Amino acid sequence: MIIAIDGSAASGKGTLAKQLAKHLGLAHLDTGGLYRAVALQLLNAGQDPKNITEKQCVDSCLQLDLDLTQSPLIRSDNVAEMASIVAAIPAVRAALLNLQRQFAAQPPHGSGAILDGRDIGTVVLPHADIKFFIDADIDIRAERRTKELIQAGQSVMFRDVLSEMQERDNRDRSRTVAPLRPADDAITIDTSKMDADAVLALAQSHIAALSG
């Protein structure tokens, strides 16, 4: 079974992907972590997000240290901003596309895979068995992200997080290559008024119905 989960920032797609992978015994790949790892690698090399070149980004992809996907630093705001810029570059998406498809074709445990990101159901795995699109009101998403960052020890203000999230939403939804949008056959879940357990239960009910 291959499950594609797409959605906006702080919508809960990553939490859902992890929970489903655990409950269903499937391998999980957070594709956003790949772009964040590339972004962190570029920032560590002293690159300026405003002056980044396509070649620098592609070179970073080809020399990507996958251990960076496990670094807590990839969840910082500056890495998120750089990741959104990097992800809008067609050559970067192409460089990481095969890695994602190979993971789905040959998952580590051999039983199937769940990939979450922003273009899984539309571009990476258009033939996935089940597709979800997760979204929520932007004010609620910004509030969630603010709490996450504060809990991680960062000093942030809600209005700044909201502003950055609005910019990122606009960039993700309007880019010419693989814009953020639900696949035509995706199941959309609005998590604005739902906790993680409720989202998981709803997703499981959809999977059971489609698999029955």
Spatial CA neighbour of 4 closest among 123, 148, 161: 123
Global model pTM greater than 0.85: yes
Residue 66's pLDDT is 83
Question: Which ranges of 45-111 does DSSP label H, i.e. alpha helix?
Answer: 54-62, 77-87, 90-105
Q: Name the percent of the chain lying above pLDDT 70.
A: 100
pLDDT, tens digit (0-9, with 9 covering 90-100), for 80-109: 889 989 988 999 999 999 889 999 999 987
Q: Name the percent of the chain lying above pLDDT 90.
A: 81
pLDDT at 136 over 90: yes
Answer left, alpha or beta for residue 173, where phi above 0 means left and psi between -120 and 50 means alpha.
alpha
137-148: average pLDDT: 96
124-131: average pLDDT: 98
Task: List the domains of the chain with CATH numbers.
Answer: 2-211 (3.40.50.300)
Where in 76-186 does DSSP place strands (E)? 113-117, 130-135
pLDDT at 19 over 90: yes
- DSSP structural state of residue 176: S
pLDDT at 139 over 90: yes
pLDDT at 212 over 80: no
pLDDT, tens digit (0-9, with 9 covering 90-100), for 44-83: 999 999 899 999 999 999 999 888 988 999 988 889 889 9
